[in-house]
Amino acid sequence: MGNNSSLFFIFFSTVLFIAFVLQKQHQLSSSLDQLSSSLDQLNSKVSLLESIIKKSDHQLRSKEEDIAVIKKMILEKEEVKTVQQNIVYKIDLDQEWIPALKIQFLNFISKLKHHLDFPTSKISEVSKVSNTLVTFVEKLQKSATTFIKELYKSVIPYIMKMSMWLLSELVKGLNTFFQFCLEAAR
């Protein structure tokens, strides 16, 4: 009778230990899933920032091309006016038209500069944020990888040792139980 109680106790403790190990393994798996989902979220944010940077860069290049076209148009207009004035009016260009055009051009450029300052500052901000996010993700990935490797190295031998011990105890208990059953059957 005492032997059955100890056998039952060993079997019950084995079951409890296995349940504990499985629960710990589930917790580790869920924490890895959480890290993975966090990493996925960071990757999606980085890709969103990259698309914003590309869009802003495209807009900035488009505006630069527009500025180049406008500058070309202004130069062409200056040339046309110069020719017209020389032929028709014979006005002294150095004293009247060139300073006026220069003032108009400078006014235009200064007004255009205000429109270009905002996208330029936003692009630099997005670039800084994306660089920060990239370094953070790299550090997180490196630390998570080393943590998982170390955890695996330290836990697996312990689990193997305990499972071998539990299996040997289970075999001993089952042998005793089967012997008891055979003796009872005789």
DSSP code per residue over 12-71: HHHHHHHHHHHHHHHHHHHHHHHHHHHHHHHHHHHHHHHHHHHHHHHHHHHHHHHHHHHH
**152 within some domain:** no
**149 within some domain:** no
Contact 64, 119 (CB under 8 A): no
**160 within some domain:** no
Q: Which domain holds residue 82?
A: 2-127+168-185
Instruction: Encode the chain (186 residues) as per-residue pLDDT tens digits.
Output: 556 777 778 888 888 888 788 888 888 888 888 888 888 888 888 888 888 888 888 888 888 888 888 888 888 888 877 776 666 555 565 677 777 778 888 888 887 777 777 777 777 777 787 778 888 888 878 877 887 788 778 888 888 888 889 889 989 988 898 888 888 876
Task: State the pTM of this model.
Answer: 0.29
**157 within some domain:** no
Number of domains in the chain: 1
